[in-house]
Amino acid sequence: MKIFFVSSEVSPFIKTGGLADVASSLPPALASLGHDVRVVLPLYAGIGDQWRSQMTFVKYFYFRLGWRSSYCGLFQLDRGGVTYYFIDNETYFKRNGLYGHYDDGERFAYFSRACIEVPAQIDWSPDVIHANDWESALVPIYLKDFKSVIPQLSKTKSVYTIHNIEYQGRFGRSILEDVFGLDSSHFNEKLLSYYGDVNLMKGAIYASDYVTTVSPTYANELQYSFYAHGLEGVIADNYYKMTGILNGLDMDVNNPAKDSIIAAQFNPDDLSGKAACKVALQKELGLNVDPEVPIIACISRLVGHKGYDLITNVFHRIMEQNVQFVVLGTGEWGFEEFFRNAAKQYPGRVSANIKYAAALSSKIYAGADIMLMPSVAEPCGLTQMIAMRYGTVPVVRLTGGLKDSVPAYNPNTGKGLGFTFGNINADDMLAAINRAVDLYYSDKDAWVALMKRGMTTDFSWDKSAGDYVSIYEKICEE
């Protein structure tokens, strides 16, 4: 099959979160099944010279969007069996950061509209266009409008994946014609109209031939208003064409036996390197060097839905135990300040790294003992899977992909991969942390067995990539 994968971020070129990981690991997994897979993303200023030097210029063209005639440069890079296309327009993408600009609606409408032009420009007829999250939500909508005038798209079907329903792309009604280039017929209850505004994610859910989200449990949760953030009715209306598929990991990239950034490599048969990574991490972060004390880590955006209210609520009770705590992330000012202060309060025991730092994240995965993820909602979550690959035991709330990837440790059977709790309740979280810390100190053999089970669990794309192909085939047959 010919699959055109659209994403606003793709690792290793540019990344702010899990979407970039998925967009870098699912396409090669599909390609390895024998499919022709091409990925498209914006050419942001932040994409480094090591990638730009490998790109070739394909061509440039102009297209109309609303009243504007917009320039589009197209660059190409082939890597790991996948062709990547980069959409170049300096007005929109030569800026600091990826998101958060006043004209994000216009920037990603431009990107989505450019993606729809690419197949004609390279004379390639994809069977499926697969769009992701609000930034490319206009793709399935433009596809419907343009397939009658672009021959290369006449038979193309669309899949839309919700990676996080909290970010929907909601804009004022006035943006529809002028900025998105869509006439008022698109402003209807079965497409873009939403309480008087334009809601791009809603439109994509209706317009797509199939909708997926990133774990079976999250697909189920999205039927409830608590998780669906106002789109529960839209989900209910479209549930007949929706399913949840658990994300996989690139097992080569996330592999402590091959990771060159960490202090020492290790594998399930020889964990000595992990001990070296722990000491190196303690030294680098100014923590007391003590191989015996368990390090609890958090690596995530410091936002409410990641469960930081629970952590800040009982933080001092967590620290009553003999543990160290490392946090890496940026986000809401209140949480950033909390951890900055905590690091001052607990010198040598708490390390607050309020930044985005890929290399440090690898060192934390490798050097920590426990990964804490008390998320209020977690569509899939990759952090817990990466942690398990590195022998770091997860403590998670049973939601979304956390529930699907971290079966609870059962001391009687010795099975399971981590420590879990169900309610959004700080005491319940604390009890789960305490169970983990107790096992760490009291039964080293059981702890090591738990680490090894996580390290040897198959988190690859093998099964999930096949599930996507089944969906592509099903909609193309219809």
Which parts of this chain interact with ligand ADP (CB under 6 A)? Answer: 17-18, 21, 299-301, 328-330, 356-358, 361, 380-383, 386
Other beta carbons within 10 angstroms of residue 207's beta carbon come to 24
Nearer to ligand ADP by Cβ, of 126 and 256: the residue is 256
Closest distance between ligand ADP and the C-beta of residue 191, in Å? 27
Closest distance between ligand ADP and the C-beta of residue 18, in Å? 2
Nearer to ligand ADP by Cβ, of 68 and 301: the residue is 301
Encoding tokens for residue 74? 């197209």
Give yes or no for a contact between 416 and 410, defined as CB atoms under 8 angstroms apart. yes
Nearer to ligand ADP by Cβ, of 198 and 380: the residue is 380
Could you tell me the end-to-end alpha-carbon distance of the chain, in angstroms, rounded to an integer?
15
Nearer to ligand ADP by Cβ, of 377 and 437: the residue is 377
Other beta carbons within 10 angstroms of residue 69's beta carbon come to 9
Strand 197-199: give its sheet, edge to edge.
170-171, 197-199, 193-194
Q: Residue 232: which region, alpha, beta or left (left: phi > 0; alpha: psi -120 to 50)?
A: alpha
Handedness of CA 356, 362, 366, 371 (dihedral sign): positive
What does the chain come to in residues? 478
Closest distance between ligand ADP and the C-beta of residue 297, in Å? 10
Closest distance between ligand ADP and the C-beta of residue 140, in Å? 22
Nearer to ligand ADP by Cβ, of 170 and 301: the residue is 301
Nearer to ligand ADP by Cβ, of 77 and 299: the residue is 299
Closest distance between ligand ADP and the C-beta of residue 357, in Å? 5
Nearer to ligand ADP by Cβ, of 222 and 380: the residue is 380
Nearer to ligand ADP by Cβ, of 17 and 268: the residue is 17
Chain position carrying tokens 């933080």? 315
Nearer to ligand ADP by Cβ, of 17 and 230: the residue is 17
Closest distance between ligand ADP and the C-beta of residue 385, in Å? 8
Closest distance between ligand ADP and the C-beta of residue 358, in Å? 5
Strand, coil or helix: what is 124?
Answer: coil
Q: What distance lies between CA 280 and its chain's CA centroid? A: 28
Tell me which residue has its CB nearest to ligand ADP.
18
Closest distance between ligand ADP and the C-beta of residue 381, in Å? 4
**In angstroms, rounded to a whole number, what is the distance separating the alpha carbons of residues 352 and 363?**
14
Closest distance between ligand ADP and the C-beta of residue 287, in Å? 18
Secondary structure of 31-66 as H, E, C letters:
HHCCCEEEEEEECCCCCCHHHHCCCEEEEEEEEEEC
Handedness of CA 219, 220, 226, 231 (dihedral sign): positive
Buried-exposed string 215-241: b where 16+ CB fall within 10 A, e elsewhere: bbbbbebbeeeebbbebbebbebbeeb
Strand, coil or helix: what is 193?
Answer: strand
